[in-house]
Amino acid sequence: MTEKLAICLVGPKKGGKSSLLASIVDCVAQSAFGYSPRLRPALQPITQAEFSGERADPRRADLLSIEEGDYERLKQEFTEGGVATDTLDTYEYYFRLSVNGVAPPEVMTRGPWLLEIVDSAGEIAVPPAGAEVAILNDVKAKLTRQVLGSDALVMVLPLVRLEDSAWMGALARLIDRLALAKERKTERVIVVFSQYERLFTRLGPSAFTYACDPAVALHVLRKSLRTAQWLSRLRALEQSGVSVRYTVCSAYGFTKRFQNPNMDPHQPGERRFRRTGLEGPRANSEYWRPFLTAEPILYAALGIDSAFTFSHGQIDANQEEIPPASILA
Ligand SMILES: Nc1nc2c(ncn2[C@@H]2O[C@H](COP(=O)(O)OP(=O)(O)OP(=O)(O)O)[C@@H](O)[C@H]2O)c(=O)[nH]1
Ligand SMILES: [Mg+2]
Per-residue pLDDT of the chain (329 residues; tens, 9 = 90+): 899 999 999 999 999 999 999 999 999 999 999 999 999 999 999 999 999 987 655 555 555 454 558 999 999 999 888 899 999 999 999 999 999 999 998 888 898 999 999 999 999 999 988 877 788 899 999 999 999 999 999 999 998 776 678 898 999 999 999 999 989 999 999 999 999 999 998 898 899 999 999 999 999 999 999 888 899 999 999 999 999 999 999 999 998 888 889 876 667 777 777 766 666 655 566 778 999 999 999 999 999 999 999 999 999 997 765 555 655 54
Cβ–Cβ < 8 Å for 224, 191: no
- pTM attached to this predicted model: 0.91
Write out the residues surrounding ion ligand 2, Cβ under 5 A. Answer: 17-18, 85
User: 274 to each of 147, 206, 268, how far by Cα in Å?
Assistant: 36, 18, 15
pLDDT at 228: 87
User: CA–CA distance from 93 to each of 48, 87, 119, 157, 167 (Å)?
Assistant: 8, 16, 8, 20, 25
How much distance in Å is there from the Cα of 85 to the middle of ligand 2? 4
Question: What's the confidence (pLDDT) of residue 322?
Answer: 55
**N-terminal to C-terminal alpha carbon distance within the chain:** 64
Closest to 191 (Cα-Cα) out of 213, 158, 163: 158
CA distance 17 to 9: 6
Measured CA to CA, the distance from residue 213 to residue 233 in angstroms comes to 29
Q: CB count, 10 Å around CB of 303?
A: 16
How many C-beta atoms lie closer than 10 Å to residue 257's C-beta?
11
Coil/strand/helix, residue 282: helix
DSSP SS3 for 187: coil
d(C-alpha 229, C-alpha 135), whole Å = 26
Residue 158 in contact with ligand 1 by CB distance below 6 A = no
Q: What is the DSSP string of 111-146?
A: --EEEEEEE--HHHHSPPTT------HHHHHHHHHH
> What span, in angstroms and rounded, lies between the C-alpha atoms of 181 and 240?
11
41 lines ligand 1 (CB under 6 A): no
Q: Which CATH class is domain 3-7+14-315?
A: alpha beta
C-beta 75 within 6 A of ligand 1: no
Closest residue by Cα to atom 14, ligand 1, is 16
**pLDDT the model gives residue 329:** 47
- Residues 224 and 272 sit within 8 Å (Cβ to Cβ): no
Tell which atom from ligand 1 comes closest to the C-alpha of 122.
25
Please tell me the predicted confidence (pLDDT) of residue 259. Answer: 87
Which residue, among 43, 114, 4, has the nearest Cα to 290 in the 3D structure? 43
Q: Is any atom of ligand 1 closer than 6 Å to the C-beta of 14?
A: yes
- For residue 51, report the distance from its CA to the centre of ligand 1, in Å: 27
Query: What phi, psi does 98 have (nearest 5°)?
Result: -135, 160
Non-local (6+) Cβ contacts of 29 within 8 A are: 43
Q: Find out whether the beta carbon of 11 lies less than 6 Å from any atom of ligand 1.
A: yes
Does residue 260's CB lie within 6 angstroms of at least one atom of ligand 1?
Answer: no
Give the closest residue (by CA) to ligand 1 atom 22: 13
CA distance 292 to 23: 10
pLDDT of residue 320: 61
User: 82 CB less than 6 Å from ligand 1?
Assistant: yes
